[in-house]
Structure 1
């Protein structure tokens, strides 16, 4: 159970860091001047998706710890962990 929680915590930390960077990117768009705002796609991609991944990992960890089943934490951690690479391709503009 400990290894699954460590893996899930590490992946959640990476997604939370992406959320913090996205929050600063959105704030930077607002600071460009009056009348300039990020579109809904930017807000979803930079804030909502990373935050959803963190919440999903926290809920999976909580349920896995309650029921003492490491697979409840391990499977979402691996799936969300592998989803970081395709997410970063779009996050960085495909480069």
Structure 2
């Protein structure tokens, strides 16, 4: 289970902008950062830690970050509920 979980979470985390600044990345990586929902969580965390101060490396406003992060959480929760309710053995 942990190997499969890390297979998805580590690339999302590496491409979230938490490890390197988004502005210095290649254009292909910048596009991946923009579609990565974890990057919005990192940006929202930066908003929360810096308050209303000027933050240089935020992706979007706090409301957008909250909506994208919440939507991703609801989507993954729905997939998890669907997987749990599915029968283990198909007959």
Say yes or no: TM over 0.5: no
**Structure 1 length normalisation: TM-score?**
0.40
Higher relative contact order (CA 8 A, sep 6+): 1
Q: Which has the higher helix share?
A: 1
TM-score with structure 2 length normalisation? 0.41
